[in-house]
């Protein structure tokens, strides 16, 4: 049997995913990184986007997650994805995400110029909704 990695996707609220996988592919701030068993230890910052997990040999044996950004840690044969927000692409509600984008854009337009903290919070919300849409559209969800 082929060697595997233990992969966990963790948010502040819960452990979203834990399973043995053959490969992890994630987008870092410097580009895409692929993690296979026996990978060198690594800690890197993740960009908002997609995390792909291969759990079998065929092209159909992949799971896809949308993450808001965060960190990836590799130690021995364990990969941990730490993200503020994460969701399985199969669970993304496209209509709800589109409505969120529209609503946040409206709220941003209505903010007074001196509301920088609120503006930053809305921009994070907008980025997360747009990331979900992008990954879901890419995977045909």
Give whole-number Cα distances, 104 to 88, 108, 110, 119, 127, in Å. 22, 6, 10, 10, 10
> Rounded to an integer, what distance in angstroms lies between the CA atom of residue 119 and that of residue 2?
48
Residue 141 has a pLDDT of 60
CATH architecture of structural domain 5-89: Sandwich (2.60)
Question: CA-to-CA distance for 54 and 71, rounded, in angstroms?
Answer: 19
Q: Is the pTM of this model over 0.75?
A: yes
Spell out the domain ranges in the chain: 5-89, 93-139
Report the distance separating Cα 99 and Cα 126, nearest Å: 11
Q: What is the pLDDT of residues 26-71, one digit of tens each?
A: 999 999 999 999 999 999 999 999 999 998 777 678 999 999 999 9
The pLDDT of residue 114 is: 85
Of residues 139, 140, 131, the one with CA closest to residue 66: 131
* pLDDT tens digit sequence for 58-117: 767 899 999 999 999 999 899 999 999 999 999 999 999 999 999 999 998 988 888 888
The answer to whether the beta carbons of residues 33 and 44 sit under 8 Å apart is yes
Q: Which residue reads 């992949």 in tokens? A: 62
Element counts in the chain: helices (H) and strands (E): 2, 9
């Amino acid at each position: 049997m082929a060697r595997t990695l233990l992969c966990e996707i963790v948010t502040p609220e819960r452990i979203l995913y834990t399973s043995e996988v053959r490969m992890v592919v994630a987008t870092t701030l410097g580009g895409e990184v692929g993690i296979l068993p026996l990978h060198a230890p690594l800690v890197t910052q993740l960009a908002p986007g997609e995390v792909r997990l291969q759990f079998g040999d065929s092209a159909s044996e992949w799971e896809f997650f949308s993450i808001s950004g965060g960190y990836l840690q590799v130690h021995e044969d364990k990969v941990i994805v730490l993200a503020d927000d994460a969701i399985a692409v199969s669970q993304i509600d496209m209509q709800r995400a589109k409505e969120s984008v529209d609503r946040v854009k409206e709220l941003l337009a209505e903010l007074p110029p001196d509301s920088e903290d609120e503006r930053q919070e809305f921009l994070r919300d907008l980025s997360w909704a747009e990331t979900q849409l992008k990954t879901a559209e890419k995977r045909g969800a």
